[in-house]
């Protein structure tokens, strides 16, 4: 079936005229119509625009143009501004917001000829680890619709896992690509901070947010990331570093690759999860890699550090949503203060309010030094320890999540327990490092993820290591039942 083919295979079919982009787009739109009611992965479907874009892609191919993404359907996380299309960020606050321009990620993929099918559901303003905080309701995991897909990019992950598109975009602030990728059995890549433009990506925590991709394999992710990445003068945090041909480096041998085993990742790891990581490590050893045990003593402090830094930044970023210029506005405000109070009270959900209040508190005059400044010092310690580790090893390896997908509703009323779902992923965001998650097996019939972390701008090495693992295993080829 078409939806089971890789991006490369679909591109070959299009190049050989075995199928047109319009036909391929209709195929995926039909899958969304059939399967999304049971998943709630989509917020907005753009069928008419998609078919027009597919026809344009077919015309470009007929004129002799070639490209790996030309005519390939995708789904964008609803955090990326899309010209003329609602961009809600999963919130009532932006339920009526239609973006007047394209985010750089959207523009670059559009330029490459990719066809947007619609916008994916997400935790409100990217704040959540389960995709239960969305104004549009929870997304359900295709492997078991009573369970969460992870968050905040849960809609994008579920769409990729159920093959509602050839790939999808996401964002990762504390693990929001890697964690849902692990829980839904797909490959998810978070690039180095600054590698992919944040222009037009609605901000949660500006020093942590990074755009990335969900795909069926590392090889597919390499094709997409190459089109997304690169310097953008519109983004002051964008880094002007050349983008390698990621796909060209996938087949490099791993002999001599030094993989670091983070001691802190394995302390207290559940036995069945640990067994999957050990089995993955055996695969890497058979491919010629070497292992070195490393320790980052400050890494256990990553969760409390993150939950000071991220709320502080979100309290600043979300202050623009005041009911005056755009977004939700309350009815019949009595005065300006009432407009602010009721617009924000009605527009924001409970988790967003919790983080805004936390962030405002840690930035307040009496507590700034005790909380925010201290968190930034610990962040620097974590970054320095990662940098030291990478003088000894090429990559770090460990689990992506502590457990498989949990039941919808199981943790939503316990924020602290929910926050601990990101315990293995947050460190890479604090240090601005590239990282990815790829499927490595199952626990209780649910997918689990293997995480690889690299030094800054080592995406090529990460994708190569992930691809070689996927060439030697078939975990990434397993899909949820009922979505064949």
DSSP 242: P
Cis peptide before 152 (omega within 30 of 0): yes
Q: Which two tokens stand for residue 427?
A: 């460190």
Lowest mean pLDDT among 83-92, 105-114, 317-326: 317-326
Pick the closest to residue 198 from 225, 236, 226 (CA basis): 236
Give yes or no for residue 269 having a pLDDT over 90: no
pLDDT of residue 462: 98
Q: CB neighbours of 65 closer than 8 A, spacing ≥ 6?
A: 113
Percent of the residues in the chain that have a pLDDT greater than 90, as a whole number = 94
Helices (H), 318-373: 336-347, 350-363
> What digits encode the pLDDT tens for the residues 116-163?
999 999 999 999 999 999 999 999 999 999 999 999 999 999 999 999
Pick the closest to residue 15 from 56, 72, 89 (CA basis): 72
Q: Which residues are catalytic?
A: 77, 152, 176
Backbone angles phi, psi at 215, to 5 degrees: -155, 175
Give yes or no for residue 233 having a pLDDT over 90: yes
pLDDT class for 79, splitting at 50, 70, 90? very high
Using an 8 Å Cβ cutoff, are 93 and 348 in contact? yes
Lowest mean pLDDT among 114-123, 404-413, 416-425: 416-425
Q: How confident is the model over 428-457, as a mean pLDDT?
A: 98
Q: How confident is the model over 412-418, as a mean pLDDT?
A: 88
The radius of gyration of the chain's CA atoms, rounded to the nearest angstrom, is: 21
Distance (Å, whole) CA 306 – CA 152: 15
Give yes or no for residue 168 having a pLDDT over 90: yes
Element (H, E) at 452: strand 446-453
pLDDT of residue 455: 98
Give 26-79 as a DSSP string: HHHHHHHHHHHHHH--EEEE-HHHHHHHHHHHHHHHHTT---TTTT-EEEEETT
Pick the closest to residue 289 from 438, 434, 452 (CA basis): 452
pLDDT of residue 421: 86
The domain at 2-257+391-477 falls in which architecture? Alpha-Beta Complex (3.90)
pLDDT of residue 223: 98
Angle at 268 between CA 465 and CA 213, to 5 degrees: 35
Mean pLDDT of the chain: 96
Residue with tokens 């240090």: 431
- β-strands 115-120, 42-45 pairing: antiparallel
Distance (Å, whole) CA 29 – CA 418: 33
Distance (Å, whole) CA 203 – CA 94: 13
Q: Is 145 exposed, middle or buried (0-12, 13-18, 19+ CB in 10 A)?
A: middle
Domain boundaries, the chain: 2-257+391-477
Q: How confident is the model over 412-431, as a mean pLDDT?
A: 92
Q: 77: which strand partners?
A: 120
Give yes or no for residue 416 having a pLDDT over 90: no
Q: Which two tokens stand for residue 87?
A: 């961009």
Q: Is 267 exposed, middle or buried (0-12, 13-18, 19+ CB in 10 A)?
A: exposed
Q: Is 182 exposed, middle or buried (0-12, 13-18, 19+ CB in 10 A)?
A: buried
pLDDT of residue 429: 98
Q: CB neighbours of 55 closer than 8 A, spacing ≥ 6?
A: 21, 22
Element (H, E) at 374: helix 374-389
Using an 8 Å Cβ cutoff, are 344 and 322 in contact? yes
Q: Which residue has the higher pLDDT, 7 or 422?
A: 7
Cα–chain center distance at 187: 10
């Amino acid at each position: 079936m078409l939806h089971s083919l890789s991006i490369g295979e679909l591109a070959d079919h299009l190049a050989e005229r075995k199928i047109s982009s319009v036909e391929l787009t209709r195929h995926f739109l039909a899958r969304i119509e059939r399967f999304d009611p049971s998943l709630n992965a989509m917020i907005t479907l753009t069928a008419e625009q998609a078919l027009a874009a597919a026809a344009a892609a077919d015309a470009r191919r007929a004129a002799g143009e070639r490209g790996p993404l030309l005519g390939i359907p995708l789904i964008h996380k609803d955090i990326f501004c899309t010209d003329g299309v609602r961009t809600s960020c999963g919130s009532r606050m932006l339920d009526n917001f239609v973006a007047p321009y394209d985010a750089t990620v959207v523009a670059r993929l559009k330029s490459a000829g990719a066809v947007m099918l619609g916008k994916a559901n997400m935790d409100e303003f990217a704040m959540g680890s389960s995709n239960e905080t969305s104004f549009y309701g929870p997304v359900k995991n295709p492997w078991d619709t009573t369970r969460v897909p992870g968050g905040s990019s849960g809609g994008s992950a579920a769409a990729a896992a159920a093959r509602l598109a050839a790939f999808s975009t996401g964002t990762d602030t504390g693990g929001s690509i890697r964690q849902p990728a692990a829980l839904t059995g797909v490959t998810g890549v978070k690039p180095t901070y600054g590698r992919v433009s944040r222009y037009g990506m609605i901000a949660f925590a500006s020093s942590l947010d990074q755009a990335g991709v969900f795909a069926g394999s590392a090889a597919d992710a390499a094709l997409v990331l190459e089109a997304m990445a690169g310097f953008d003068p519109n983004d002051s945090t964008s880094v002007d570093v050349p983008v390698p041909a990621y796909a060209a480096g996938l087949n490099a041998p791993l002999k001599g690759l030094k993989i670091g085993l983070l001691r802190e990742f394995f302390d207290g790891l559940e036995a069945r999860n640990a067994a999957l990581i050990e089995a993955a490590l055996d695969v890497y050893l058979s491919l010629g890699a070497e292992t070195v045990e490393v320790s980052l003593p400050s890494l256990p402090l990553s969760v409390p550090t993150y939950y000071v830094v991220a709320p502080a930044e979100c309290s600043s970023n979300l202050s623009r949503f005041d009911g005056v210029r755009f977004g939700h506005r309350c009815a019949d405000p009595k005065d300006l203060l009432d407009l602010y109070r009721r617009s924000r009270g009605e527009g924001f959900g409970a988790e967003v309010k919790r983080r805004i209040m936390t962030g405002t508190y840690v930035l307040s005059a009496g507590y700034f030094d005790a909380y925010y400044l201290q968190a930034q010092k610990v962040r620097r310690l974590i970054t320095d320890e990662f940098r030291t580790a990478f003088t000894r090893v090429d990559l770090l390896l460990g689990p992506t999540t502590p457990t498989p997908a949990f039941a919808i509703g199981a943790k939503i009323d316990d924020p602290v327990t929910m926050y601990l779902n990101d315990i293995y992923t947050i460190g890479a965001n604090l240090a601005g490092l590239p990282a990815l998650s790829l499927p490595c097996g199952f626990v209780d019939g649910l997918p689990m993820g293997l995480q690889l972390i690299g030094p800054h701008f080592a995406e090529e090495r990460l994708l190569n290591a992930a691809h070689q693992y996927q060439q030697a295993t078939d975990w990434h080829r397993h899909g949820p039942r009922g979505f064949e």
